[in-house]
Amino acid sequence: MKIAVFCSGNGSNFQAIIDACRKGLFKADISLMVCDNPNAFSVKRAEKEGIKSFTIERKAFSSAEEFEARIIEELKKERIELICLAGYMRILSAGFVEKYKGRILNIHPALLPSFKGTHGIKDAIDHGVKTTGVTVHFVDEEMDSGPVILQEAVKVEETDTEASLAEKIHSVEHRLYPEAIRLFIKGKLKLIGRRVKILP
């Protein structure tokens, strides 16, 4: 299966996906890393790993449609079958999601539907929850709202800071995302309404 990973920053999840694939957790060709930020560390990771990267800045286009159309062109060129959003800081348009319906995954650093948005870890700390976690989900037209594939809880200790909690969350992410990709590739995810049934 040909995968594209979309990033905007560090790309530690991108790295975890590459590592899991290399270890043989799933059979895939990580063909492309799409990035909207030329300074992102994920670009360096792609270079080091010999993965083609496609960096594209929104400001170079007059509309979001044109920006996405150029990305779609690249995805088609590479015959991408699965898109994994990994710290990609843009919301995909409904048109984009429709084109790749059921073939876009995202990872979020909280137990959705709690703490949607870009500050899931800080928001959980600020709210004072005792448990937060990680969610891998299918992407739909709305932000952080698609059907949940996997979730795992992470305890928030009284001594936790945003940084220490982020560290715990990231280590769960790096295990959970590859596992969700494995299930997708194996055809084990069955969508029933907005529920995801995991087949044995």
Catalytic center residues: 108
Per CB under 6 A, 144 contacts ligand GRF: no
Per CB under 6 A, 10 contacts ligand GRF: yes
Report residue 187 as tokens.
């055809």
DSSP, residue by residue, 75-87:
HHHTT--EEEESS
Residue with smaller CB distance to ligand GRF, 12 or 132: 12
Residues making up the chain, counted from first to last: 200
Q: Per DSSP, which regions of the chain are E strands?
A: 2-7, 29-35, 52-55, 82-85, 104-108, 131-138, 148-155, 189-192, 195-198
Per CB under 6 A, 178 contacts ligand GRF: no
> Within positions 102 to 131, which residues make up the interface with ligand GRF, using CB under 6 A?
107-109
Per CB under 6 A, 11 contacts ligand GRF: yes
Task: List, in order, residues 6 or more apart from 184 with CB less than 8 Å away.
Answer: 82, 105, 149
With CB under 6 A as the contact rule, the residue among 20, 35, 86, 92 that binds ligand GRF is 86
Residue matched to tokens 């084109």: 99
Per CB under 6 A, 133 contacts ligand GRF: no
With CB under 6 A as the contact rule, the residue among 4, 5, 13, 67 that binds ligand GRF is 13
In whole angstroms, the minimum distance from the beta carbon of 185 to ligand GRF comes to 20
Binding residues for ligand GRF (CB under 6 A): 7, 9-14, 86-87, 107-109, 173
